[in-house]
Amino acid sequence: MHIYVVQKDDTLEYIAARFRLDPDAIAKKNELTNKDQLVVGQTIMIPMAGFYHFIEEGESLYKLSNVYNIPLFELFSLNELSSKDSLPLGYLVYIPRRGKNIIETSAYNDISIDKKDSAEIIQNIGDNLTNVPIFSYQVKRDGSLSELNDNPSIISALSMEVAPLLVLTNIEDNQFSQELATTILNDEALQDKLLDEALRIMKEKGYFGLDIDFEYLGAINKESYVTFLEKAKRKLKESNPNYSLSVALPPKTSKNQKGVLYEGHDYEAIGEVVDKVLLMTYEWGWSGGPPMAVSPLNKVKEVMEYALETIPKEKILMGVPLYGYDWTLPYEKGGKWAKAIDQTKAYELAYEYGANIEYDEVAQSPHFMYVDEEKNEHEVWFEDARSYQAKFEYINQIDIAGMYNWVLGFKSPQNWLVLQEYFIPIKLF
């Protein structure tokens, strides 16, 4: 795939002609709702086995050979050029894509917020996934678990050779509860009851592993949480040696980072126990906070650098969001919360209100402003092909176990297109 950024006066027909492709094929790949509604700054994925480099001033095939580590003779041959040819500015030089990395890929399926058919979504993107954590079985104070209509998602996942994972959470009254977690983590009998129930469901429904997402634990639960994970690991392996144990972790940058979200999670101790850790490298920009990138790469790197110091890299999966936020300005703490949107909705808003999309090179994230019918100013941050590419390049660079998406149900087709360019998902069966 080649990432093309829409310029002023571009049409899909013009872009397609430039790459000698059918505009309908490009529209289908990018799941464009209206191929006549392009926005300046929008990214378009061009289906091709590789990508094009546009010649800039001072560039030559010799220079590109060094930049992309491709033999000069191969560039000449692929582009049907000779050493005598001069390359004008803007000339398209074809660059072949090198090998893909084989990694673990995952995507949470939050049944509670998914407004579409979960089974159909998994069916559509299952080729891109190793596993799918199904969110979530909520732990109750008596050690029992909430009910979940997960059978359609499990059946769909298995049909696509995607391993379903059962997710346990300390969610109570629609929010993570420290009090609930403290009750469970300080009572051996309650722990045995909930883990035995989780194992019963896993066997009955065909789950491949357990993913524990206990959040907002606070320092009071730091040691007891590790002990609980040790018990969970022991029970899993006794039940089935092939069962995996993973855990979601908040984005810490230091051992003693303050805050109830961070203090209960000991990266090093947890990393020794579990099979995989899923780092929640998103929500810097969040619905109740000021406008900013949801997953700014500069901040993501700070988390990953600390994680790599404390957790074996072969256990680490980096989180990548499928969503963004639309904030109404001015932002006021405690005021109106931002609306979660996906890539498709972001493009629709930009077109509707005549906004140009800009790209923050530090955060590696697209954003734009617009004014609605009621004269309210808005600021939108989301993900596009460029931001996904930057994250996937970084994942390759640090050579970790893999990546995961939060969360299915948001329509961000370019995530899957870029993922297919960079990775081959491990399949467990």
Closest CA to 321 of 300, 339, 294: 294
- CA 46 vs. chain centroid, Å, equals 21
Clarify whether 421 is annotated catalytic: no
| CB of 395 closer than 8 Å to CB of 309 | no
Say which amino acid occupies 406: W
Cα–Cα distance measured from residue 257 to residue 411, given in angstroms and rounded to the nearest whole number? 34
Token digits of residue 388: 């996904």
Closest CA to 139 of 167, 168, 159, 115: 168
pLDDT, tens only, 176-196? 999 999 999 999 999 999 999
Strand ranges for 187-342 from DSSP E: 209-213, 244-249, 276-279, 316-321, 324-328, 339-341
Reported as a pLDDT band with limits 50, 70 and 90, residue 68 is confident
pLDDT, tens only, 207-230? 999 999 999 999 999 999 999 999
Reported as a pLDDT band with limits 50, 70 and 90, residue 113 is low
| CB of 350 closer than 8 Å to CB of 384 | no
Strands 163-169 and 209-213: parallel
pLDDT, tens only, 382-407? 999 999 999 999 999 999 999 999 99
> What are the angstrom distances between the C-alpha of 291 and each of 39, 204, 283, 395?
21, 44, 11, 26
Cβ contacts of 404 within 8 Å, gap of 6 or more: 105, 106, 107, 108, 133, 278, 317, 318, 319, 320
Closest CA to 116 of 412, 413, 411, 405: 411
Q: Where are the domains of the chain?
A: 2-95, 101-319+400-412
Say which amino acid occupies 191: Q
Is the pTM above the cut of 0.95?
A: no
Provide the pLDDT for residue 23.
95
Cα–Cα distance measured from residue 80 to residue 387, given in angstroms and rounded to the nearest whole number? 32
Catalytic residue among 31, 179, 188, 215: 215
Cα–Cα distance measured from residue 391 to residue 364, given in angstroms and rounded to the nearest whole number? 9
- Residue 283 pLDDT > 90, yes or no? yes
- Residue 371 pLDDT > 90, yes or no? yes
Reported as a pLDDT band with limits 50, 70 and 90, residue 50 is confident
Q: Which CATH class is domain 101-319+400-412?
A: alpha beta
Strands 339-341 and 324-328: antiparallel
Provide the pLDDT for residue 69.
86
Q: Which residue has the higher pLDDT, 77 or 222?
A: 222
Cα–Cα distance measured from residue 76 to residue 130, given in angstroms and rounded to the nearest whole number? 38
> What are the angstrom distances between the C-alpha of 140 and each of 110, 112, 178, 202, 339?
19, 17, 13, 18, 29
Superfamily of domain 2-95: LysM domain (3.10.350.10)
Do 2-95 and 101-319+400-412 show the same overall fold?
Answer: no
Q: What is the mean pLDDT of the chain?
A: 95
Helices 297-310 and 385-398: crossing angle in degrees, nearest 10, is 20
Cα–Cα distance measured from residue 287 to residue 13, given in angstroms and rounded to the nearest whole number? 37
298-305: Cβ within 8 A, 24+ apart: 298/362, 298/363, 298/364, 299/251, 299/363, 300/251, 300/391, 300/394, 301/394, 302/253, 303/251, 303/252, 303/253, 303/279, 304/279, 304/394, 304/398, 304/400, 305/253
Helix (H) or strand (E) holding 125: helix 118-125
> What are the angstrom distances between the C-alpha of 59 and each of 75, 92, 139, 239, 350?
14, 12, 60, 61, 34
Provide the pLDDT for residue 383.
98
